[in-house]
Structure 1
């Protein structure tokens, strides 16, 4: 019994998502189609790939290189944040966080007196969410909206470019508030990396990206990648956070069930009729069910496409569940600093609230 209690209390987000999914089953009929298996498959493959990369020592190597080009903690946070911002445009926000958060946290382990490491982690997550909004394939909600509304490429980039500019302004302002202290020079030589193993993992990473970008059926390419990774090192299969994958599944189930309620449909149709209502409504909804399900839930009931686009992308700021990528960042931070979960959530919420209010004001004026 103690083990069961510990299993559910050690990960409250997992437990809460399970509870919500179970409650939703009383209001709607469960459908397997509610689950976005592409997200689950790709996330599993990426988590397994990152586990192998970390074990190989590549993250430690990159951490040492970043320390070399960053004289101060402010420069370090700026460099990793901008790297997350621009890499997420092509790699998606999930991949950027899965890849860069371990690198950043590996660096913080080498700088014990770094007192603003949580700020850096939070800015990294924010940057990945914002940067991924620039391209249609950068995050799931954009890919869905681009396809559902049959948006032209010109229209999409007109909206996303404004988001890009505002995001960079806010990020550079946040760097000014980052404490600045010198990073001691690392005397240890850079670790050596097996180039053959790097080539092998890079090839598997390419396989996974083929599935992420729909260049090859994910249900074929991801299992192949997982088998190859298992052959390479079967032990890393134990390092995958299966509860995080289950959390995603529970959220998909809950949204699918609640969307079947006629009262929910009528409420959305009634409320999401104007630019302002759609913008703020999609932000508010994202805080509760995350921005991807919010986009899927609202799109069929509104024609305010631009407001919905900005709303769900800005809506990724805010609560820890406003974007599923936020959960990934939190889970990784918790693995490195298990005793700082509460402090992280408090600072994450505070910083995100500032960004959310600022973005809401700016884009309300632009609508």
Structure 2
């Protein structure tokens, strides 16, 4: 990704100034804070205790998967999908170790739970934030629950049974070792305080959206504020900075530059222009949101789509949100959270899943999820009208 960004800069497809403007520093700041918090949870042994609790009864695989999916879904809905990806990776590896299997399949299940879980709330992922800002909903949390909770629950239910079926047939052997810190010397309470503060800030900001009693702070600022207890009271501040996943941050900076060059070229705008008057039709929204997200990534696609829409009715915006989110369940590069999980897995010294292996396992979930989302939005639209 960095090589592509450098090539675009060298060939003047995008200027240095335009490249800096294309980078979403809010996302970078959010990831920095989340990575610091997730490492603190890991280094203090909190992640290990959570994984031990989830894996307490490995004889009951459905129970383990259910608790794992519930935990990841809540984290994804409250703290965004990228946070859930970073926090959930050690848990998925621990499940694989307890089952005595390779880590790939539990990690793929984590990707699905992270993506679907982010559908439930307006802060679940970046494209939801764009849609909330554009839709001016009076109650963003309630709106997302009404329109996307049912297809989200159907998708998670099917994914739970699907991965239960797949994991029960996964051959033993090649299991990763339990991922544990070398020495759990980091204090636990700063990590817990930072996590709790991030939850409170994100949820409060969501409910206070558009009100006058709380300043409208970006997620990046909330993440950095939440990380303050770590850098004030942790006994390993330098280690925290060192263990931030800088490789992933560089990947995102480069991705924003590449995406900025694509947007500057006008390719996406030209591609959508022949259907300008039909962009609110459900079939077209579904097709463009899903396949366009594979080519251009869901966040820039949603941003351009919102600029081209004439009527920003709730049904169209919710369908755009749901389909563009579920598009992440097709290829590894379809969602940034998938990339984070791969990077975090390699950081822990464990072999992640492969490109086509990922697609093979998530394709059934993707099909069911898309049908559920499309059908529910269509049903809700007919009821409301």
Pairwise same-fold verdict (TM > 0.5): yes
CA distance in 2, matches of 1:264, 1:180: 43
Contact map agreement 1:289 1:321 (CA 8 A) in 2: no
SS in 1 for 2:284: helix
| Contact residue 289 and residue 324 of structure 2 kept, 8 A | yes
Any unmatched runs of 5+ in structure 2?
173-180, 206-213, 379-385
The aligned counterpart of 1:201 is 191
Structure 2 counterparts to residues 285-304 of structure 1, below 5 A: 285-302=292-309, 303=311, 304=316
Partners of 2:231 and 2:306 lie apart in 1 by 37
* Residue equivalent to 1:323: 335
Q: Distance in 1 between matches of 2:121 and 2:105?
A: 26
- Contact preservation (8 Å) 1:84, 1:100: yes
The 1:236/1:323 distance shift into structure 2, 3 A limit, reads same
TM-score scaled by structure 1?
0.80
Q: Residue 253 of structure 2 is aligned with which of 228, 245, 249?
A: 249
Out of 333, 349, 363, the position equivalent to 2:359 is: 349
Is structure 2 residue 111 aligned with structure 1 residue 121?
A: no
- 1:319: how far off? 1.2
TM-score computed with the length of structure 2 as normaliser: 0.76
Instruction: Give the aligned partner of residue 283 of structure 1.
Output: 290
Residue deviations 1:262-296, cap 9 Å, x none? 45323223246232122111111211332222212
Q: CA deviation at 1:305?
A: 2.6
Retained in 1: the 8 A contact 2:44–2:185?
Answer: no
2:240 to 218, 233, 236: 236
Map 1:110-259 onto structure 2 (within 5 A).
110-111=98-99, 113-115=100-102, 117-153=103-139, 155-180=143-168, 197-209=187-199, 214=205, 217=217, 218-219=220-221, 221=225, 224=228, 227-228=231-232, 232-259=236-263
1:59 correspondence with 2:63:
no
RMSD: 3.4
Larger deviation: 153-162 or 35-44?
A: 153-162
Q: Structure 2 residue aligned with 1:34, among 22, 25, 29?
A: 22
